[in-house]
Structure 1
Amino acid sequence: MYVAPTPVTIDGSQYYKISGKDQYIKVTNIDGVTRKITHNAYIYRTSTQRTPYGMTASSKKWKFYKGKTVTTYGGSYKFKNGKRYFRVGGPRKQYIKSYNLGPVISSNISAATTTTTSKTNTTNTSSKNVDETTVTVDVAKYYRKTAPILTFTSDGNPKIVKSVPNGTKFTVDRLESGDRADKVAYAVGSFNGDQTIYHIKGIDNWIYSIDVKADKKLPVHDYNAENFSYITFPKATDVYNADGTIQNHNGQKIIKQMGHLKVDKLMYIWVPSENKAELFYHLVGTSFYATTTPTARQSKIDVGHDAYVKADDVKFAGGIKLTPSNTPEEAQAAALKK
């Protein structure tokens, strides 16, 4: 099967057109998405037979290790043993258990421009990248004499690598808001009320949007919404440990609140007190406002780095839509092994 090199957008999702046919296949089935490995994972060709990953003797490996990343293709598959797996290689059959993977970190969709298609209108934009423009440094002298160029370190903090004078031009291919843009604003000591940053095409550098004038507007990508998942607490909520037991905070729970709190994993955990597996979100934060008596000052509880809340107790509030990384049967089996 051959597909056209340029993806098309149909009703908000991206596809490749199969050559010679009026049929399409999702881009992520071909380009894949990147996920973080949360547990050491063997590679399988069937539910019972392991296989090496890699095509050459020097590149072959039998296991992926926790903390690394891997590209997966398409949705998860349910094998005969009842467990779900993601495809990680080809053309040979190569899969790893979905339980060993975290949420999607990034998409590997080709940087090629796209054609937008709908049932009523078709617009070909392949001649020009709509997410690309030229910016020119234009810093007011009373504000700063030069514009800083920044990169992000491994811990996610911005670092100034150099400064450039007025009139310097760059081709940029992304305009971003969110946490990283806010950090840049702090780093350069300037706020414009709506922090955004431009990515300089071809290199891992960024420039603050307040420091430049753009030839045209680019769509703003919300870094938080594209990289994280959020929940709210519509009621006072218990916090659980990874073994399905409720954390003891002297009767305190996370207080009802509508703030968006980060979560990074959705998984089943066996709850011994209920004798069944429940679906849980893993909390990114470690400190939360807690319920109190009417006369007490509002306090916080520290839940640690491995804390969970029942999906039924909270409400999904936006960002990446997580899918369970395991099944109820896998959660039960893991509990029985302990």
Structure 2
Amino acid sequence: MYNGVTYATVLKKTTTQTLTNDSTKHVLKKGQKIKVDLAVEPWAEDFEGYIYRLHDYPNEYVAQSYIKLRNYLPTSSYSELTFTFVKPQTTADTKFYSLDGTPTGVSYRNRNQTPLTTDGLYYLWVPSENKAELFYHYVPYKQDRSYFVNNDGTDLKDAEIDKNTNKPIETTEDKIHYSNSFIKVSDVTYAGGNKLVPLNSPKDAENDQKVATDKDKQELQRKFEAKKNAQNVKGHDESAVKNYNNALLIASSVLKSPKATIAQVRQALWLLEPIRTQLAL
């Protein structure tokens, strides 16, 4: 194992790719020497081997079959480079919060202190405390309804079952809670993956409580229109596809609401990006 940077020889002409399997315009020629520094197990379930990160182009990778390595490298995985994992500090159920800083009424069933998956770090304005607090944005990755309970520890009310699919019918509120809930940083500790930095400041959280104007919503409208027509969903994981559809639902709800705040607009705009990354779009 070579913990650092090593050289590789390109065996045949190819272009590099992103972590999410998109091709770039960067061409590697046969016989070219390149520097690589990490072997990554990619997201695709049918991919054999690793993709290797180019040291001089840290957002680009090349598949194992296209290169010959001088030294073996440390390994990582798509999940470790995409998500941040946090561990509850106690065995008490972990409360979820809405974007407005209030409890959703739903908690994570936490008897075994299982790490939770997150993908963003946000200051939210908490009205009850009249201040901004730091929260992780939760990602319900490969988790179903059985992981969640009411804040008093009782089971959630059984959802109606769709007779055609035999799956629970989720309300719009259920979908928003599923894909856009937050965890107080003070309730958990970092357990691995990406080390995040806050996406806003405490002052931003306070100032963005103003009602958004049509002008404030313009960029969200543009990106929503572009993304809602994207049909090339390449993710194989049902949770990721569900999160993507819910992110579009959230954006649509914010755009339609005359009471939506600037904070809601900014967060809906951000939410569309990591969801696409998790889907490998």
TM bucket (normalised to shorter chain) is 0.3 to 0.5
Larger radius of gyration: 1
Greater fraction of residues in helix: 2
Greater fraction of residues in strand: 1
Higher relative contact order, structure no. (Cα contacts within 8 Å, ≥ 6 residues apart): 2
TM-score (norm 2): 0.47
